[in-house]
Chain A
């Protein structure tokens, strides 16, 4: 951000981080990287019944340049790994990653020759959601955990 360089007192800096993080956590633009069955649960979370927009994560963006939250939803094969890495690198800071479901978190039951055993072998992950597939409530729970995490982030981290 660079904002804090104009401010000298640490007192003001910490209050600014609160305000900024508050704004960030309630304006998450998600990029749904949907590869498999978990996608259905993502859709149901995003649609009106569970209504993810109540939590300030309203708009999915299908360009990584416009997103700050990467939802990796489903099984990722080794062949797909470079694509996922590229999508992550194209996102602007600050950015966060959620591993959605057992497959994205650990490979799930695909303990085999072609599946990445957890996307954290390719990109950093902030929150893992267990389940095959997870229920929408779990997804909303994970989103709130992520928001708490964002609120605690120091200003310098994303500067």
Chain B
């Protein structure tokens, strides 16, 4: 159903699209990072696309399975055209950063903070990129597949007591 959106993107940003595929009618577009914000703005502002609901933003860690290691995933929905689209942006481990989509959908604010907190992907231009679920002083990013499953980081300064 959102085939048309993919075609619109292909017409406008042919050089930015790495591949496309669909599963049961849900379209996915794999994008380069360079002009990501232009693509997102296009998806939001074109009258026949009008993706005005940021549904989800997450990261996939393909540790030792695929290169580049991370994939930032955006899910969008349009109330006007009732369409959905999924975007994926692969990023390298050494350069795990994408531009922040906060300026386009402020609703992605906490999603980006969560993705940063748990996967360590940096969202450039985010106004307040701090940890959101883990506590201050937590080391590492626990949903990365190389984070030891049994590693604990208890808060040792309970009520000011040191241990």
Contacts and interface: CB of A to CB of B under 8 A. Distances in A.
Contacts of B151: 113
Given A79-B134, A114-B142, A85 B159 contact: yes
B24 to A, nearest CB: 32
A121 B159 contact: no
Interface string B122-163: 000000000001110000001000010111111100110000
B158 A122 contact: yes
A62 B151 CA distance: 34
Contacts of B149: 111-113
B155 A81 contact: yes
B159 A78 contact: no
Nearest to A81: B155
Contacts of A116: 154
Given A86-B159, A89-B159, A113-B142, A81 B152 contact: no
Contacts of A154: none
A94 interface: no
Interface in A61-110: 78-79, 81-82, 85-86, 89
B142 A81 contact: no
Contacts of A111: 149-150
Given A79-B134, A79-B135, A114-B134, A121 B155 contact: no
A79 B147 CA distance: 19
Q: How large is the interface on B (under 10, 10 to 19, 20 to 34, 35 or more residues)?
A: 10 to 19
A151 to B, nearest CB: 32
B159 A82 contact: yes
Contacts of A79: 134-135, 155
A85 B135 contact: no
Nearest to B143: A113
A62 B23 CA distance: 51
A111 B151 CA distance: 10
A116 B158 CA distance: 13
A21 interface: no
B134 to A, nearest CB: 7
Interface in A11-34: none
Given A78-B135, A79-B134, A79-B135, A113 B153 contact: yes
A86 B155 CA distance: 13
A117 interface: yes
A121 B135 contact: no
Contact of B152 (A86, A89, A113): A113
B58 to A, nearest CB: 18
Nearest to B149: A112
Contacts of A85: 158-159
A139 B135 CA distance: 33
CB-CB nearest 4 A-B residue pairs? A113-B142, A85-B158, A79-B135, A82-B158
Interface of B: 133-135, 142, 147, 149-155, 158-159
11 contacts: A78-B153, A81-B158, A82-B159, A86-B159, A111-B150, A112-B149, A113-B142, A113-B151, A113-B153, A116-B154, A122-B158
